[in-house]
Homo-oligomer: A and B are copies of this chain.
Amino acid sequence: MGGPELERLIGLFAKLPGLGPRSARRIVLKLLRERETRLLPLAEALEAVAASVRTCSVCGNLDSCDPCMICVNPARERRICVVESVADLWALERALIYRGTYHVLGGSLSALAGRGPEDLAIASLLERLERDPPEEIILAMPATVDGAATGHYLAEKLKRYGVPVSRLAQGVPMGGALEVLDEGTLATALRARRLA
């Protein structure tokens, strides 16, 4: 019902992460009820992003200029924070606690998924270090098996550049009640305990 255009639109929404046929129908009906204020602006915003946003050739961030606003900002500290994804880069930027630059790997090493070093943006990171050595490299990999393996691999690779390499601390997240944390997090937090 609703004609082929509507069926197609609902199908495209339904395949987006976190959505399904039911939520896609709800969204499309809402868009149609507010055509001028929602449907048309969304179509235009998608076109604008498709036309303007590209991957930064230096760090892998997404932005409407290349190099991105972070890479060209002279006020940024000469540190490189290595992250798995643009989502992780954005999370750090939102936290407003880091003033250096980034390097997006595009994933973690994974034997299971068959992802090796050549599938990640590692060569471009090493080139970057040779061209313009930073003061520090921070490995901000996720606290997963693959993330840890990727961190170890990179730490090894980076040794010969003579640049300090650090990692994010692991432990109890802010506001985290101990009882809901998994054993791995608790064990790490206990091992890394500090004098109070």
Contacts and interface: CB of A to CB of B under 8 A. Distances in A.
B90 A25 contact: yes
B40 A43 contact: no
Contact of A42 (B23, B46, B62): B46
A61 B6 CA distance: 12
A187 interface: no
Interface residues of A, number: 52
B3 A64 contact: yes
Secondary structure at the A interface, as helix, strand, loop or mixed, is helix
A80 interface: no
Interface of A: 1-6, 8-9, 12-13, 15-19, 23, 25-32, 35, 38-43, 45-50, 52-53, 61-65, 69-70, 85-87, 89-90, 93
9 nearest A-B pairs in the assembled complex, by CB-CB distance: A3-B64, A43-B46, A9-B45, A5-B48, A1-B93, A5-B49, A12-B42, A16-B27, A9-B49
